[in-house]
Structure 1
């Protein structure tokens, strides 16, 4: 491949820059003849830090401005956390590559060093994720959930500055930034099912850009792609965003592709959760079928109610 420059669009947080630099180094490793540059783009989600995401538009807040830069040619590709990607991708863009996934689960970080089941009644736990808060309340209805926004470093500082007893974060971000020693407990999926795509990176590209497609092709991990696209098919069918507590996590083993999905009331009182297994190559079909199964169990009524509440 001829040389030239490739510009990566990214948010400016410490974690986003780590992720973008990882992709930059991976591209340079496969294509040393290419110069790779980063372009930091501030998104609406980075500017609004005092309001829960569900109140200001959900997931698209972290990608819209970057996608606009990709569409108009200011950047050649974008690096996102897959869990920040809305179910629908703008016309003209596509998921060009999904590298091998990091640990997808959530972690609990407590000031006392106590795990979830040993936290005192009424303990203040920080999170602005409805998915996390609903599952926490399902497991421990006696906890007090405190809204917590900001980048990873900010949220870690708020553990002490806002008198919180614990916070819940994605394991992937903590591990990528070398902070695994801060983890009190990695939360089992039976307690906290991860967000769709959590722990995976999304390398977003223009659909009709063969040069960039060939640049990122070597970064795509097929098993991770199949797992994540099955999760995203599940999310897409449920039309889920940050306004509703939806979780989904798949894995591949000798039985094929198994996807576990969940829809939950905000207060954790009503939780619909199922798993479905199918062929590895048919992961998106499994995702659609699992969504239909949850809808048949009453997930549709929960989603309609929560979406109606979000619009008020």
Structure 2
């Protein structure tokens, strides 16, 4: 925590100022402002200053994402600022946070979660012809840079084609809608479209009940994670008032599955969590090979009341995935990723 300046003449006490780190993308700044607005309402005596910065991957829109390294792709530069005391906490899209944080840092808070599902966005002018993935004809081009999405869609709709799509939401949608563009649809996170007021472009929500088979979202998707220094108890206490307990427990279970399988944020695992009764959490998970021809699935429901129980629950689901063949699939994906590191158009795990 830092202090600067003074309060108005009504008080001699210095105002507390907290500096909030975030990426500088439009969506990241919207997310940071959401957190800051909520914290201002809870702590009117505290001032908050948002400090946006571009990550290496934000600056470089050409290099394949995996070449930056799977762990900490969007977080490393921000964590350097946190370590140096230049910011007091960081607001992340939780799906971008590695499941193992650097020494001295903690996931201090998980805020109320936005819709975690993936969605279909159809090219302008084609909305009357296509609404869902099942509507698409053979050869229709799906835009995404996520192996998780590609693999799951291939599993259900092997007649579709895929092209890499990078950039922020506006950039991707412009590429989709370009008259000479090759894309028929995009697959995006619902949360990003909802937070940026573009929900009108959504034509289909994808989940475990989707026609033609389930489509599971990324670990932590839709959640905002706040990272802070482990020894900054004042900031940790202040952030706790914003935490959504159910979102935190569900996301901890999801992150535990991923951490157990690989310990990074780059494996193509799909998950879905749902509270189905008093303190009972249902977790569905899948790992699918790139071709969509092999898959390992898992599903468990258990009473979860604490963070420790959520982590243990994730371990059980990860073990079920392993028992059903997930590690074999991941070993092949990781071997191909290593072999393709110098190729022009590698698969991008996400």
Does TM, normalized by the shorter one, top 0.5? Answer: yes
Partner in structure 1 of residue 6 of structure 2: none
Partner in structure 2 of residue 63 of structure 1: 75
Work out which of the residue numbers 152, 159, 162 in structure 2 matches 1:142: 159
More helix as a share of residues? 1
Give the 3-state SS of the residue equivalent to 2:333 in structure 1.
helix
The answer on 1:231 being equivalent to 2:248 is no
Work out which of the residue numbers 310, 329, 332 in structure 2 matches 1:305: 332
Residue pair 2:207, 2:217 contacting (<8 A) in 1 also? no
Counterparts of 1:175 and 1:117 in 2: how far apart (Å)? Answer: 23
The answer on 1:257 being equivalent to 2:284 is no
Q: How far apart are 1:88 and its partner, in Å?
A: 1.0
Partner in structure 2 of residue 208 of structure 1: 231
Residue pair 2:97, 2:265 contacting (<8 A) in 1 also? no
Give the 3-state SS of the residue equivalent to 1:61 in structure 2.
coil
Residue pair 2:295, 2:325 contacting (<8 A) in 1 also? no
Partner in structure 2 of residue 50 of structure 1: 62
Judging changes above 3 Å, is the alpha-carbon distance between structure 1 residues 241 and 91 closer, same or farther for their aligned structure 2 residues?
closer
Give the 3-state SS of the residue equivalent to 2:175 in structure 1.
helix
Partner in structure 2 of residue 120 of structure 1: 137
Runs of 4+ in 1 over 3 A off after TM superposition: 240-244
Give the 3-state SS of the residue equivalent to 2:246 in structure 1.
helix
Judging changes above 3 Å, is the alpha-carbon distance between structure 1 residues 138 and 248 closer, same or farther for their aligned structure 2 residues?
same
Larger Rg: 2
Judging changes above 3 Å, is the alpha-carbon distance between structure 1 residues 241 and 210 closer, same or farther for their aligned structure 2 residues?
closer
Q: Which moved more, 1:251-260 or 1:120-129?
A: 251-260
Counterparts of 2:263 and 2:101 in 1: how far apart (Å)? Answer: 14
Partner in structure 2 of residue 166 of structure 1: 185
Counterparts of 1:94 and 1:132 in 2: how far apart (Å)? Answer: 29
* Aligned counterparts, 1:75-94, within 5 A: 75-94=87-106
Work out which of the residue numbers 164, 174, 182 in structure 1 matches 2:201: 182
Q: How far apart are 1:271 and its partner, in Å?
A: 1.3
TM-score of the pair, normalised by structure 2: 0.86
Work out which of the residue numbers 195, 219, 238 in structure 1 matches 2:242: 219
Task: Kindly provide the CA deviation profile for residues 158-197 of structure 1, in whole angstroms up to 9, marking residues without a partner as x.
Answer: 1023331000000011001111111111112243101000
Q: How many residues align?
A: 312
Work out which of the residue numbers 320, 325, 340 in structure 2 matches 1:293: 320
